[in-house]
Amino acid sequence: MARHRFFVAGTDTDVGKTLVTQGLLEAAKKSGLSCFGLKPIAAGCEKTPRGLENEDARKLMSASSVKLSYQQVNPIALEAAIAPHVAAQMENRKLDGQRVIGFCRGAMMTKADLVLVEGAGGWRVPLNSRETLAMLPKDLDLPVILVVGIKLGCINHALLTVESIIRDGVKLAGWVANQVDPNMSQPSDSIEYLSAAIQAPLIGTVPYLAKVEPHIVADHLQLREIL
């Protein structure tokens, strides 16, 4: 089995990147593939006896079949639940793109059929005054899986993000429609429009779930579309 690596980006924060990443990892395991997920930068971490840890990073570790240390999965943990570059400033730290890339390269030396690197926030989330997290998939040559939160305004957010990904010279491998707003009128119309407008396969439509379970999300994803 060839090794596949992807960067999971979102159109915004709180669109379900972690949930979809978990679902993809669960789908990989169901297909007999070894897999793990990385969350190189995470803000909103909590203090534990082991140091700062992030709930999303722990979720990826739980869904992964290949077990890495917490520090490999989430090497940059920030306490404040705000934009990463601001959280870093509050801790008198500076985020550096090449350092983040180095952490990811080190972790990805571990063999697995599927590796997913989850971003933070949207495509252009800043690392510092010069760099954004978009440099990570570009420098690591990682095709992007885009998570679109289906809510009011999602068409604009999705198309602008797709334009930015392509302009940056990064391949868009596929996208996932994640219905985050249970009260949105006619969500299928937005999904249909985006399916025609985005030149990459729709690899899954995740309905709004009252109880969020990664193995249920996995059943709504077609991992074979990008492998």
pLDDT in tens, 141-181: 999 999 999 999 999 999 999 999 999 999 999 999 999 99
Mean pLDDT of 204-214: 91
Q: Is 44 left (phi over 0), alpha (psi -120 to 50) or beta?
A: left
Mean pLDDT of 66-74: 97
Please say if the pLDDT value at position 1 is more than 60: no
Which residue among the candidates 39, 138, 151, 211 is catalytic per the annotation?
39
| Residue range 4-225, CATH number | 3.40.50.300
- Active-site residue, 39 included: yes
Per-residue DSSP letters for 115-171?
EEEE-SSSTT-BSSSS-BTTHHHHHHT--EEEEEEESTTHHHHHHHHHHHHHHTT--
Of the listed ranges 168-172, 197-201, 210-214, the one predicted with least confidence = 210-214
* Residues 6+ positions from 35 with CB-CB distance below 8 Å: 25, 28, 29, 64, 65, 66, 112, 113, 114, 115, 116
Q: Residue 6 has what DSSP assignment?
A: E
